[in-house]
Amino acid sequence: MAANSQFSMAVHVLTVLARHEGEKIKSEKIACSVNTNPVVIRRLLGQLAQAELVESQTGAAGGTQLGRSPDQITLAEVYGAVSCGEVFALHGKPPDRNCPVGRNIEAVLCNLQKQIDRSVAETLSRHTLQSVLEVIEQEKP
């Protein structure tokens, strides 16, 4: 249980919500589909709510629903809501400033990170929750 599967979970969660547009879904029901603990789902929903992708209601008969229609939510937004935006990590300890490479490599890597992030965002922005939902419904065996 180490690798960062938050994006996978987020897409899963949102797809479940998309299949029941208009309804308020309980975290327990979502957790069942994802096969995890309701608290894990609620934590994730918190992040998605901050990005205004979902809206939750407390109290009895509470639950969560999408903040917009599925064709208005791109996977790039989902990724942005749950990821730190770093495909690879920079150096842990700072490199040796006496070495020309050590002195300047971080700027190069930082720049690369931004380029990759843009390219990932562009790829993901070609998919909406609606398009994911269509694949899911269609592939139902």
Interacting residues with a copy of itself (CB under 8 A): 1, 3-9, 11-12, 15-16, 19, 32-36, 75, 79, 83, 86-96, 99-105, 107-109, 112, 115-116, 119-120, 122-124, 127, 132, 135-137, 139-141
Residue 107 in the binding site for DNA (CB under 7 A): no
Give the residue with the Cβ less far from DNA, 39 or 135.
Answer: 39
CA distances from 30 to 23, 40, 81, 88, 111 (A): 13, 10, 19, 30, 38
Nearest one of 135, 129, 140 to 18, comparing CA atoms: 129
d(CA 47, CA 45): 5
Residue ranges binding DNA (CB under 7 A)? 1-6, 9, 25-28, 36-40, 42-43, 45-46, 49, 56-64, 84, 92-93
